[in-house]
């Protein structure tokens, strides 16, 4: 066990964020009661925004980005964890205001960690990542609001992205007929391989639309926001539910109250960053049971820490399909 470790650190400059690979020691880590030997991280849309400076994600400079990591506990002063425990972290401001997963070590609060189920390896945990864990939170929200396979189709927007890919795999295994909305027509076979029954072009949803449209789906998982989410709401069946978790098109919601007061639909906001531990444990328990690990492998690619800066640009540009597993020790 060595005190020195490698990390990708971002500094603030007049020209924007500057990324560099550095060698650090444990003295460079932030406060926390658990030190983790990080094995894997991943690249989420939020990580791309942080590294490229396209949005003010980073709040403390300089910082090690990476909102996710998995690994083994090295040291612990927290009652729930002991050395050797396999753990995963998603969110809680890590990679935003607290050093994150793009390093070989991390020191965090034990309350932010979740022990991994036996059925999910450390590598698979980062194939899942915040995107997949968020997808599971969306599915749980649909279930809790009565969206069952017999009620009708479920739409997934941003379907070829991380949230969308995992959501399709989960929903199809649970018996739902899934409609996938994507702007990447070339990904149709990929999406059908994950379980999508129908592919629609995102242009059907991305322009300003009517307050109410034809009822097309009983539920939806939306990672896009803006006009897309407004149109998704307008076309949700009576009594249906939409889980909203992203802003790829925009933060705005140019919608009307019509779907809510005329069709009684529910809009569920999904927050993965500060979700309480009980919710996280439930999500990982369900991921272990309901996510087809072969489909997870099919949607995942491997990368090294050195690859993260260019992957950050690619994910913001919509060029990353599925999930990226970053081996921080490779």
Q: What is the pTM of this model?
A: 0.94
What is the distance between the alpha carbons of residues 183 and 190, in angstroms, rounded to a whole number?
Answer: 13
Interatomic CA distance for residues 146 and 207, integer angstroms? 29
Band the pLDDT of 1: cuts 50, 70, 90.
Answer: low
What is d(CA 55, CA 50) in angstroms, rounded to the nearest whole number? Answer: 6
pLDDT tens for 160-193 read: 999 999 999 999 999 999 999 999 989 999 999 9
> What are the boundaries of each domain within the chain?
5-115+299-327, 131-269
pLDDT at 151 over 90: yes
Q: State phi, psi for 99 to the nearest 5 degrees.
A: -50, 135
2 band by pLDDT with thresholds 50, 70 and 90: low
Among residues 93, 63, 147, 96, which one has the least CA distance to residue 271?
93
The pLDDT of residue 16 is 87
Q: Which CATH code of 2.40.40.20, 3.40.50.720, 3.30.70.580, 2.60.40.420 fits the domain covering 131-269?
A: 3.40.50.720
55-90 pLDDT, tens per residue?
999 999 999 999 999 999 999 999 999 999 999 999
Helix extents (H) in the chain: 45-52, 122-144, 162-173, 188-194, 203-206, 226-234, 258-263, 277-290, 293-298, 308-316
The C-alpha angle with vertex 159 and arms to 282 and 319, in degrees rounded to 5, equals 115
Q: Which CATH superfamily is domain 5-115+299-327 in?
A: Medium-chain alcohol dehydrogenases, catalytic domain (3.90.180.10)
Q: Are 208 and 256 in contact (CB under 8 A)?
A: no
Query: Interhelix angle for 277-290 vs 122-144, to 10°?
Result: 100
Q: Are 97 and 59 in contact (CB under 8 A)?
A: yes
> What pLDDT, on the 0 to 100 scale, is given for residue 68?
97
DSSP assignment letter at 94: B
Q: Per residue in 16-51, pLDDT tens? A: 899 999 999 999 999 999 999 999 999 999 999 999
Pairing state between β 178-182 and 266-269:
unpaired
Q: What is the pLDDT of residues 266-303, one digit of tens each?
A: 999 999 999 999 999 999 999 999 999 999 999 999 99
């Amino acid at each position: 066990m060595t005190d020195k470790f490698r990390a990708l650190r971002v500094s603030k400059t007049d020209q924007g964020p500057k990324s560099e690979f550095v060698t650090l020691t444990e003295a460079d880590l932030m406060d926390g009661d658990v030190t983790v030997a990080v094995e894997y991280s991943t690249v989420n849309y939020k990580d791309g925004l942080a590294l490229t400076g396209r949005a003010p994600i980073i709040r403390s400079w300089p910082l090690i980005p990476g909102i996710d990591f998995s690994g083994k506990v090295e040291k612990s002063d927290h009652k729930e964890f002991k050395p050797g425990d396999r753990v995963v972290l998603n969110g809680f401001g890590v990679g935003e205001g607290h050093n994150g997963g793009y390093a070989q070590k991390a020191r965090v609060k034990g309350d932010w960690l979740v022990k991994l189920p036996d059925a999910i390896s450390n590598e698979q945990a980062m194939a899942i990542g915040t995107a997949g864990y968020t997808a599971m939170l969306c599915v749980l929200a649909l279930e809790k609001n009565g969206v069952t396979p017999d009620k009708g189709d479920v739409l997934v927007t941003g379907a070829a992205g991380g949230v969308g890919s995992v959501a399709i795999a989960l929903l199809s295994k649970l018996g739902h007929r899934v409609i996938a909305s994507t702007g990447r027509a070339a990904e149709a076979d990929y999406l059908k391989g994950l379980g999508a029954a129908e592919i629609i072009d995102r242009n059907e949803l991305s322009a300003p639309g009517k307050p109410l449209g034809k009822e097309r789906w009983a539920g939806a998982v939306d990672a896009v926001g803006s006009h897309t989410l407004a149109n998704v709401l307008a076309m949700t069946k009576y009594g249906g539910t939409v889980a909203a978790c992203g802003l790829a098109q925009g933060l705005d919601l140019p919608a009307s109250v019509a779907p809510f007061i005329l069709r009684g639909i529910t809009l569920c906001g999904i927050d993965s960053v500060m979700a309480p531990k009980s919710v996280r444990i439930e999500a990982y328990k369900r991921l272990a049971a309901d996510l087809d690990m072969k489909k997870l492998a099919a949607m995942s690619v491997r990368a090294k820490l050195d690859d993260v800066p260019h992957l950050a640009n690619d994910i913001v540009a919509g060029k990353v399909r599925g999930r990226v597993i970053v081996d921080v020790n490779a």
